Amino acid sequence: MITFFVCLALLIVGFLTYSKLVERIFRIDDRPTPAVAHPDGVDYVPMKPWRIFLVQLLNIAGLGPIYGALSGACWGPSVYLWIVFGTILGGGVHDFLSGMMSERNDGKSISEVVGLYMGKVITFIMRVFSVVLLVMVGVNFSVGPAALLAKLTPEALSTMFWLVAIMVYYLIATFLPIDKIIGKLYPIFGICLIVMALGIGGATVLLRGSDMPELTLASLAAVHPNSLPKWAMMFVTVACGAISGFHATQSPMMARCITSEKQGRGIFYGAMVAEGVIALIWAAAGVTFYTNHGSLLDGMSGLTTAIAAGGAGDVVYEISTTLLGPVGGVLAMIGVIACPITSGDTAYRSARLTIADWFHIDQSRTGPRAALSVPLLAVGALIALALPWDVLWRYFSWANQTLAMIVLWTGAVFLHKYGFPPKACLIAALPATFMSAVSVTYFFQAPECLGLSTAVAYPVGLVVAALFLAVFVWRVLVVGKDDVTALTAAAK
């Protein structure tokens, strides 16, 4: 229990201190934001900061901080460290930079922002990568909630029924102006999500506090019951609970709604820390619930078996109803269901905006919005019916962390290009290096990728990450600011 509260305190202190350092390095000012400069009533819509925060939280907090954290807890309480330090040093920085870089560039989609600083080739890669990832997110965040809704409703309302209903809702939410559904309903769902997390966290502490494992050398050395390597499998599995490239596709939507740059730290960095708290609660609940007065290894094994048998959705249902009772469990499940649905619809919306920015399609008119929204949802529906959820989640997780790596490197280049000293660039360059090692290692070792041994994957991941950092340092310290700007312009 002590470890849990220490980690919770670290997340709060990290936001109060490190986020202010990041904000100071970025040098926010009083320039007019895109929402103030040219509101269009569809995507560029000024909203109140508290409302934008709750929308941002719902946008980014899909299944990742719940399903990903539960899966990560199969490695034991060592997952706490990744959630805490990944959130403060990586995820918060990533979300703040992606949102503010977009705001500084008229609310452009992240693929276009990356292209401005990394060249034409990366622009094309990012456009395709972003759209594919966003559709995969939309698919993942429709199949999971549909299965959970089927558990809470009569048998006649099957998973397929709810999947169709969710996809219809996605079409409506993707198509309509952002303040009609998203701006009105999401703050309510955001409050439900927070209450749900507090309920699960409080019940875990009060009812199972004696079973909550502590972070010791033995628990750090604990091995996954299926012998999956901690590096880099755990770091990818947790996904959105620590750092997520998907967030970079969502932040530009809120960058089009903020009315002052001073709101950026609380909205972008703050929402990521809130998601880290949610992930910490679910990771603690998962590893504690199955320990049940036994050993830590028994708890890890029980959680792994439960996920393998019925999926993370069944685990969420079992934990919620057992800890909170039938009524409280249903309320918690509603929060879990609303969470991914409200990320799925904004994923499709972000995909629409990415394509619109790519081909310069005006989205203030009804016809062009429909022309992009309908095909995107149709493709998502076909994928949802064709591929199993566990395969989709693994591919999403890797693509997610790879996108985070690219965005962090873009943030480092952005800071350098605008005259920030090399030390300041390290707030993005160091987590970018770490995520490069994670993504490359996972690609070489994961069964769904190359499936090579750790003897090959580990050194390759570390060498590639070191190479990326060396190239960046060379361009910063050797080539110089003026030449880097010229090289960037030439690459375009």
Are 4 and 280 spatial neighbours (Cβ–Cβ below 8 Å)?
Answer: yes
Are 146 and 163 spatial neighbours (Cβ–Cβ below 8 Å)?
Answer: yes
Tokens for 307?
């996920």
Which position has the token pair 């019916």? 385
Tokens for 461?
């991941």
Residue 388 has pLDDT above 70, yes or no: no
For residue 164, give the nearest of 372, 384, 445, 359 by alpha carbon: 384
pTM, entire model: 0.88
Tokens for 432?
């970018």
Q: Which of 31-40, 145-154, 346-355 has the highest mean pLDDT?
A: 31-40
Please give the pLDDT value at position 37. 94
Strands (E), 377-483: none
pLDDT band, residue 298 (cuts 50/70/90): confident
Please give the pLDDT value at position 80. 95
The mean pLDDT value for 137-147 works out to 79
DSSP 213: P
Q: Which of 54-58, 100-104, 472-476 has the highest mean pLDDT?
A: 100-104
Q: Which residue segments constitute the domains of the chain, with CATH numbers given?
A: 2-392 (1.20.1740.10)
Please give the pLDDT value at position 486. 47
Please give the pLDDT value at position 231. 93
Indicate the residue type of 313.
G
pLDDT band, residue 484 (cuts 50/70/90): very low
The mean pLDDT value for 98-120 works out to 91
Are 350 and 98 spatial neighbours (Cβ–Cβ below 8 Å)?
Answer: no
205 Cβ neighbours under 8 A, 6+ residues apart: 1, 4, 212
- The three-class DSSP label of residue 454 is helix
Give backbone dihedrals phi and psi of 47, rounded to 5 degrees, phi first.
Answer: -135, 165
For residue 373, give the nearest of 168, 160, 139, 180 by alpha carbon: 168
Query: Please, what is the average pLDDT of the chain?
Result: 86
The mean pLDDT value for 159-173 works out to 87
Are 363 and 352 spatial neighbours (Cβ–Cβ below 8 Å)?
Answer: yes
